[in-house]
Structure 1
Amino acid sequence: MTITNEFLEELLAQEERLQFPRFDNETAIALGFSLIELGRQRGLSITVDIVRAGQQLFHAALPGTAADNDQWIIRKNNVVMRCGHSSFYMGRRAAFRGVSFHESMLLDPLAYAPHGGAFPIRVIGTGLVGTVTVSGLPQEEDHKLVVEALTAFLASFK
C-alpha cells in the first residue's frame, strides 16, 4: 500500500463524515450487531468491541477468533483515546513520516497498537466519546469493515 497525503486526508475525512447525532447503549448494541452480521455474512473471523466513556457496551467474537484479538482491541482503542484519531490513521501517518509511532509518541508498544480497526465514535457537538473496533483481519481490512458498517449504519440512523 502506498501512503500519500491524499490517503491520509481521506482517512481524516472518514472521521469527519462518520459522526453520530447521539450515541447511547442501544445505539452501541445495534451497531455491534450490524458489524457481527456483516462478519457472519462474509464468513469472517472477527471480534467486535464498542466502548463509550470507558464502559464496554458491546463485545462479541465470531468463530475463529482468540483471546489475542481482545488484547489487540485494547491496544488499538488506547491509540484512539490517546490520539483522537483512528488507529489505522495513526499508524499510517507514522509510516508516511518514516518514524516509529511508539518512539515518536513515547508510548509503550505493549499498551498501544497503531494498527487498523479502532475508529473514534464522535457525537456531533460533543466530540470523541468512545471507540468501535474490529480485530481479526489484516489491519486495512479491519479498518475498511468498520468504515463500511458505520457508513451503512449512519445512513439509516434515526
Structure 2
Amino acid sequence: MSDDVFETLSRVEAEERDVVLPRFDVRDAWALGSRMREAAAAAALPIVIGIALGEARVFHAALPGSSADNDGWLDRKARVARRYGRSSYGVGLAFRAAGRDFDTDGRLDTSLYAAHGGVFPITIIGVGVVGTVGVSGLPQADDHAFVVSHLREYAATL
C-alpha cells in the first residue's frame, strides 16, 4: 500500500472534521452552488454541481462539456456520502488503506454507489450531517478538492 493513500486519507479525515458549518439551508445551497458554478464557468470546467439537503436536491447545475454520465456519477457518489456520513473520497480511501476494494468489499450495488472523490457531507455543528455537496467531471481528487475549497470558503462567510 502506498504511503500516499495513508497521507491523503489523513488529510481528507481532517477536512471532514474541520469543514463544518453553523447552519445550512436552501438559501445557503443557492449561494454556495452559485459561487461554485461561477468559479467552474470561469475555469471552463466540464462539471455538474449538486447540493442536497436530506434526499431533496436543492441545487443543480450542468456546465458545458458535462453529460448525463456526470449526473449518474454524482448521484452514486452522493449515496456513498449519505450512507457513510463522510466524503465519498474518504470512503474510497479508507477501503484502499485497509487493503480492500469498495466495489467488491462494500457489498453495495455499484450501479447505485461509487466511492470516488467529489461529494462532501454538509455537517452542521451540534447537529451532524444534513446533506451533501458535490461535483462530477474531473479526476476524483480534483472533484474533491474543488468541493472542499468552496465549502471551506463559504463556511468562512457564515
What is aligned with 1:78? 79
The yes-or-no answer on 1:69 pairing with 2:54 is: no
Name the SS for the 2:71 alignment partner: helix
> How many residues end up aligned between the 2 structures?
157
Tell me if the contact between 1:47 and 1:60 (Cα under 8 Å) persists in the aligned partners: yes
TM-score, normalising length from structure 2?
A: 0.94
Rounded to whole Å, the distance in 2 between the matches of 1:68 and 1:4 is 27
Rounded to whole Å, the distance in 1 between the matches of 2:84 and 2:153 is 26
Supply the RMSD in Å over aligned alpha carbons.
Answer: 1.3
Tell me how far 1:126 sits from its aligned partner: 0.5
What is aligned with 1:152? 153
Tell me if the contact between 2:5 and 2:93 (Cα under 8 Å) persists in the aligned partners: no
After superposition, the C-alpha distances for 1:37-61 in whole angstroms (9 at most, x for unaligned) are 1101211111000000111000000
Rounded to whole Å, the distance in 1 between the matches of 2:6 and 2:141 is 17
- Unpaired stretches in structure 2, ≥5 consecutive residues: none
TM-score, normalising length from structure 1?
A: 0.94
Rounded to whole Å, the distance in 1 between the matches of 2:17 and 2:60 is 25
Rounded to whole Å, the distance in 1 between the matches of 2:54 and 2:102 is 25
What is aligned with 2:44? 43
Q: Where in structure 1 do 4 or more consecutive aligned residues deviate above 6 Å?
A: none
The yes-or-no answer on 1:123 pairing with 2:124 is: yes
Tell me if the contact between 1:3 and 1:96 (Cα under 8 Å) persists in the aligned partners: no
After superposition, the C-alpha distances for 1:43-97 in whole angstroms (9 at most, x for unaligned) are 1111000000111000000101111111111100010011111011111121222
Rounded to whole Å, the distance in 1 between the matches of 2:72 and 2:156 is 31
Name the SS for the 1:37 alignment partner: helix
In structure 1, what residue type is equivalent to 2:117?
A: G
Deviates more, 1:12-21 or 1:136-145: 12-21
- Unpaired stretches in structure 1, ≥5 consecutive residues: none
Tell me if the contact between 1:78 and 1:112 (Cα under 8 Å) persists in the aligned partners: yes
In structure 1, what residue type is equivalent to 2:124?
A: V
Name the SS for the 1:3 alignment partner: helix
Rounded to whole Å, the distance in 2 between the matches of 1:146 and 1:2 is 24
Tell me if the contact between 1:45 and 1:62 (Cα under 8 Å) persists in the aligned partners: yes
Tell me how far 1:2 sits from its aligned partner: 5.0
